[in-house]
Amino acid sequence: GMPQLLPLVADGAAPPFARESFDALLLDAPCSNTGVVGRRPDVRWRFTAAGLADICTIQARLLRQAASLLRPGGRLVYSTCSIEAEENALQVEKFLTENKSFTLEREQQLLPDRGHDGAYAALLVCTCS
């Protein structure tokens, strides 16, 4: 029959998996939520420069950890519901500068619109051997 899928509660900054355990990962990173202000007005009042810096540090740590879990040729989608460059394109750019064995295959930034929230996603590929 089908393999049984069991939920696992763990810290993404210290994942309980061996290096190179996965072919593909989705990192839906914690973020400032600035892409969903239309639905969550409280975001506007909680957003601060210091908070943004803290969340960027957490995102960078999670991205590094997720990357270490990929096998050569593995794919990693990094996503947020933010429209802040620091959490999105700049975060990915910084990661790529520090991790030469990854390439950006494509990225997309959506701005909030009547039909959808704001969001960002980047597809990173492990070119390591």
Sign, CA dihedral 78-79-83-84, equals negative
Stated pTM of the model: 0.91
| Marked catalytic residue, from 56, 81, 126, 128 | 81
- Residue 81 designated active-site: yes
Say if CB 92 and CB 47 are below 8 A apart. Answer: no
Q: Determine the Cα–Cα distance for residues 55 and 47; give it in Å rounded to an integer.
A: 11
Which residues make beta-bridge pairs with 125? 75, 103
Residue stretches of the chain with pLDDT short of 50: none
pLDDT tens-digit readout, 53-84: 999 999 999 999 999 999 999 999 999 999 99
